[in-house]
Amino acid sequence: MIDLSQLDEDQRVAATAPRGPVCILAGAGTGKTRTITYRIAHLIDNGFVGQHRVLAVTFTSRAAGEMRDRLTRMGIGAVQARTFHAAALRQLRYFWPQVAGDLPWRLIDNKFPLVGRAARSVGLPTTKDSVRDLLGEIEWAKASLITADGYAGSVDKHRRTPPADAAKVAEVYRRYEQAKTTPEGMLLDFDDLLLHVAGALENAPGVAEEFRQQYRSFVVDEYQDITPLQQRVLEAWLGERDDLTVVGDANQTIYSFTGATPDYLLGFSRTYENATVVKLQRDYRSTPQVTQLANTVISKATGRVAGTRLELTGMRPAGPEPTFRSFPDEPTEAREVAGEILSLLNKGVPASEIAVLYRINAQSQAFEQALADAGISYQVRGGEGFFHRPEIRDALAELTKASRRDDLPPDPVAITKAALAPLGLTTTEPEGAQARERWQSLRAFVDLVTEIAQSKPGIDLPGVIANLRQRAEAKQPPTLQSVTLASLHAAKGLEWDAVFLVGLVENTLPISHAIKAGDAQIEEERRLFYVGVTRAREHLVCSWSLARQEGGRATRSRTRFLDGIAPELDAPKSTKATGRPKRCKVCDTPLSSPAEKVLGRHESCPPGAEQEVFESLRSWRAGIAKEEGIPAYMVFSDATLMAVAETLPENEAELLSISGIGPIKVERYGADLLGALHLHR
């Protein structure tokens, strides 16, 4: 028997509802996956359905895998848990001979050349970026059940911005579809799989009957992410039956651009008048402090989804208040975040429980750099690390090529900009998702070159290139014990003890093209922010910076999504807290070399008393780190040592009051550290 005591009251109502339609409207971390697995177990336990007759679908293989694990642990591993595509592929393989006889077919592994050829034939550009954008648009249309003939007429209705003239896009779509019928047989893309499955079940009664004998009961997770095409497949699976459990959170709809829509979730009780509808609002993931912020963020939503708000109640014990930090520029923001991560590591938070989340992949560069500088190992999730991206490799290659010429201007930044122009670095942001992403990366690359040039006045191009290569190599291979960097989209469904939401500025979140496109797009960006906030179990830090580059003009403003939520803050002038002030502590003039920045003063300026203590603590720390065979930051971070040097604690209680020092650290190093301080006095 399944142990229903593992569920709360509301979860239990959903899990034990009579066979038939059930809709679970559940916020983040409320135990959706737990509840649906128990529901499946309950249906099986009570003899409503056999294990082999249940099909549970999700949208990513990761989610399907997680569901399979949970089902296996409950002893019902024979339940099918798959993505829509994997389920459709299996079914089509089985049914194909019945509907198409011996007509051969094959799954296309790469649509790119087909779309490229179609684009060329209608006279559209065939650069990688433009073909990818066309491909994305065709995928959207197919997921939305819009044919090539219907495409041009749908653009306005769906407020799409086509990647090229709509009639031409439609023509590319048409030719792409035609090109898939070849003398050797049919080529099918992933969307065709779904279309053919739906078609077979709708039109071939024998096929439908056989299938419906096989599967009786259906469960869909993350139902807010379903596309019209997937919904059509689901309806074909069901036929006249209504044994369907769906679970979703309309406030986490962040994939509208692929055609996903929460309409079916929100309309479920209208479609199935006898449906059991359950709301889960107890959040088992986050502290009440995090949950409170999430509720406030989403309470400002407007538009269609806004009426379906769920008030989350945090079930975990109280934790720290989320914090909001404003910084003068992005490198400073990144260094400060790295500093705070160090102090979390010092407090014993595992690296794998810490994440830095951002809106676009190009933002990762500054944070990768700061983490590497601080000796913190990290992995980039759902994307490649900055120096591994194709456009950045190309950029480095172009720059290397340029460095062989002898007619170059002296300024490495100017050379870089010129060298990157053919790769897509235009003066203004281009249209088209792919081109935009590439452009953003290239711009981050120029920023990096600018930063290097500023910190080493007089550096020449080969010097810059050597520096860039060093940075590219400095990235340690990811280990299990590493901090996660991820875009908000890639963070969906995941959770960490500590989350840093960074780069929260207008034109990044919401992203500039969403601002141009209007309210509906801006609301999707707000939901993206909400997804970010709800990833945190305990620690949540929201930050932004007012300039891109160190010492740059403050041209940015904080995201509108924090209006009325976080106090307006002035960016602090220095970055003292990480032990990396930009100005000399002794003479208060700017510092330039990285070594000086770490030291906090010019090497020629005499250390003050505090500085002297700090430096002797650093050598004390180096000794301990060596003895224990661990990196120095795992003993104490620079910021913590600086705080010790500033406050000169005399006993363990005073040590404990310093940020970055917890009971475990005191137990391990307290006596030793106090001893070192005493010696110094």
Q: Under a CB-based contact definition with an 8 Å cutoff, are residues 280 and 14 in contact? A: yes
Q: How far is the CB of 16 from ligand ATP (least distance, A)?
A: 14
> What is the pattern of x (binds ligand ATP, CB under 6 A) and - over residues 560-589?
------------------------------
Q: Does 436 bind ligand ATP (CB under 6 A)?
A: no
Closest approach of Cβ 543 to ligand ATP, in Å? 23
Task: Tell me whether strands 185-188 and 181-182 are parallel, antiparallel or unpaired.
Answer: antiparallel
Cite the beta strand spans of 2-89 per DSSP E: 22-26, 54-58, 80-83
Flag whether 31 is marked binding: yes
Among 13, 24, 26, 57, which residue sits at the site for ligand ATP (rule: CB under 6 A)? 26
Spatial separation of the C-alpha atoms in residues 631 and 616, rounded to whole Å:
17
Report the residue from 17, 22, 30, 243 that binds ligand ATP according to the rule CB under 6 A: 30
**Residue 401 marked ligand-binding:** no
**One of 2, 10, 11, 448 touching ligand ATP (CB under 6 A):** 11
CB of 216 to ligand ATP, least distance (A): 24
Choose among 482, 477, 532, 491: nearest CA to 354: 482
DSSP for 393-410, written as a single string: HHHHHHHHHHHT-SS--S
Nearer to Mg ion, 280 or 546 (CB): 280
- What does 257 bind: Mg ion, ligand ATP, none (CB cut-off 5 to 8 Å by kind)? none
Identify the residue among 160, 196, 216, 285 touching ligand ATP (CB under 6 A): 285
Options 20, 139, 284, 304; binder of ligand ATP; rule CB under 6 A:
284
From CA 12, how far away is CA 257, in angstroms rounded? 35
Cα–Cα–Cα angle for 262, 264, 266, rounded to 5 degrees: 70
216 binds, among ligand ATP, Mg ion, none (CB under 5 to 8 A by kind): none
Residue closest to Mg ion when measured from CB atoms: 33
Q: Does 7 bind ligand ATP (CB under 6 A)?
A: yes
Nearest distance, CB of residue 64 and Mg ion, angstroms: 12
285 interface partner picked from Mg ion, ligand ATP, none, CB below 5 to 8 A per type = ligand ATP
Q: Which stretch binds ligand ATP (CB under 6 A): 21-29, 71-79, 186-194, 565-573?
A: 21-29
Q: Are 9 and 42 in contact (CB under 8 A)?
A: no
Q: Does 224 bind ligand ATP (CB under 6 A)?
A: no
Residue window 480-519: x/- pattern of binding to ligand ATP, with contact defined by CB under 6 A: -------------x--------------------------
- Residue 29 in marked binding region: yes
Any residues with CB less than 8 A from the CB of 668 and at least 6 apart, and which? Answer: none
Stretch 121-150: interaction string toward ligand ATP, x if CB under 6 A: ------------------------------
Q: Report the 3 state secondary structure along 539-604.
A: EEEEEEEEECCCCCCCCCCECHHHCCCCCCCCCCCCCHHHCCCCECCCCCCECCCHHHHHHCCCCC
- Which residue sits closest to ligand ATP, CB atoms considered? 31
Q: What is the distance, to the nearest Å, from the Cα of residue 593 to the centroid of all Cα atoms in its chain?
A: 34
Residue 660 is assigned to a ligand binding site: no
Residues that bind Mg ion in the complex, under the rule CB under 5 A: 32-33
Interface with ligand ATP includes 16 (CB under 6 A)? Answer: no
Query: What are the φ and ψ backbone dihedral angles of 416, each rounded to 5 degrees?
Result: -60, -45
CB of 33 to Mg ion, least distance (A): 4
Give the up-direction half-sphere exposure of residue 153: CA atoms within 13 A in the CB hemisphere: 5
Site for ligand ATP (CB under 6 A): which residue of 13, 28, 56, 64?
Answer: 28
24 binds ligand ATP (CB under 6 A): no
396-401 contacts, C-beta under 8 A, 24 or more apart: 396/465, 396/468, 396/469, 396/472, 398/422, 398/423, 399/461, 399/464, 399/465, 399/468, 400/465
Rounded to the nearest 10 degrees, how much is the dihedral formed by the CA atoms of 643, 648, 651, 657?
A: -30
What six digits make up the tokens of 571?
A: 């960016």
**Residue closer to ligand ATP, measured from CB, 57 or 635:** 57
Rule CB under 6 A: is residue 8 a binding residue for ligand ATP?
Answer: yes
30 is in an annotated binding site: yes
**Minimum distance of ligand ATP from residue 229's CB (angstroms):** 23
Cβ proximity to ligand ATP: between 493 and 600 the closer is 493
| Separation CA 219–CA 227 (nearest Å) | 16
The single-letter code of the amino acid at 252 is: Q
d(CA 500, CA 26): 24
DSSP 644-679: HHHH---SHHHHHTSTT--HHHIIIIIHHHHHHHHH
CB distance 489 to 525 below 8 Å: no
- Which of 21, 22, 25, 32 binds ligand ATP (CB under 6 A)? It is 32
32 in a known ligand binding site:
yes
Rounded Cα distance between 229 and 264, Å, is 12
28 labeled binding residue: yes
List interacting residues with ligand ATP (CB under 6 A).
7-8, 11, 26, 28-34, 284-285, 493
- Extract the annotated binding site for ATP: 26-33
